[in-house]
Amino acid sequence: MEEIFENKNPKKTGKVFNEPYNIQRINRLKGIIKGIHEQGGCKFYSIFVDGEMVVAKNDNIELFDNYHQYMEPNTQQVEIRLHFGRSPNCNRHIFHTNQTALSGVPAKDVEQRIKEALEKQKMETEIDLLKKELKRKSKKLKQFKTLQAELDDKQIDIKDLIKQGMEIYGQFNANKSGAINPTVHGAPEVEVEVESEPETKADKHYQKMKNEYSEKELEKALKTWEIFTAYPELRKEFTELVNHKIKQNGEA
C-alpha cells in the first residue's frame, strides 16, 4: 500500500497530502470532481506544476488534463487543490515526481513511470474524444435515417395521380352528359336513360381548355392540380409567382 503523509495546516483551512506521483491516484481525484457534477453539484479545483498555477480555479472537468502539457522530465511536483465551495480553503494533494525517499525507487525509474503514465493518459483522452465523436455521428446518422423514412412515406406517384385524375374526371363528365348501359350477369342489357344535368361554368371552361390545349398540356395542368390537392399550402406561393410573371409580361 502506498504511504501517504498527512500534514495539518495550522490555520485549519484544509489538509495537505504528500505522495509519489501516481496517475491512478490523480484520476481518482478527477473522478471525485466528475461524480459531484453528475449528481448536479459543483466542485472547484485548481492545479499547480512546480508551484505555478497551470489550471486556474474552476469547476469544468474538461480542463483537468490541461496540466499534462506543462510537465517535463525535470518536473518536481504536481499539486491538485480541491476547494471547499468557492472558498480559497482547500485540501492539497501534492504528488512528488522525483523524490526517492517517498517512492522507494531510483529517480530514473520514477521518470520512466511518469512518462509511461502520461502516454497512457494521453491515449485514454484521445480514445474518449473518439468515442464522443462516434456517438455524435451515430446520432446524426439516426436522425438522417428517420428523416429519410418520413420522406419515403410522403412520396407521391405523380404519374398514377394524373392517370387516376383523368379517369375520375372522364367518368364524372360521362355520367353527367351521357347514358349508362349497366350489364348484370345473367340478365339482358337494359339501357337506362339518365337525365343530363345542365352544363356548368366549370364544364364550359374545361371544354374550352380541351379545344385550346393539347392533351399533354392538360396533363401537366392536372399534375399541378394534384400537387395542390395533396399540398394546399403551396397554392399561395404558386399564385404569387404566377401573378408576378403575368405582371412582368404585361398581360391582364
Give per-residue pLDDT as tens, 10-30: 455 789 999 999 989 999 999
Beta bridge partners of 45: 58, 82
Q: Which residues pair with 159 in a beta bridge?
A: none
With 80 as the cut, is the pLDDT of residue 44 above it?
A: yes
Average pLDDT over residues 88-96: 94
Quote the DSSP letter at residue 189: -
Q: Is the pLDDT at 1 greater than 50, yes or no?
A: no
pLDDT the model gives residue 101? 39
DSSP string, 76-99: -EEEEEEESTTSS-EEEEEEESS-
Positive or negative torsion for Cα 76, 82, 29, 64? negative
At 196-241, the pLDDT tens digits run 566 777 777 777 777 777 777 777 777 777 776 777 776 677 777 7
Name the least confident of 69-73, 116-120, 180-184. Answer: 180-184
205 φ, ψ (degrees, to nearest 5): -65, -40
Residues 219, 229 contacting (CB under 8 angstroms): no
pTM of the predicted model as reported, rounded to 2 decimal places: 0.40
Give backbone dihedrals phi and psi of 179, rounded to 5 degrees, phi first.
Answer: -100, 155
Mean pLDDT computed over every residue of the chain = 75
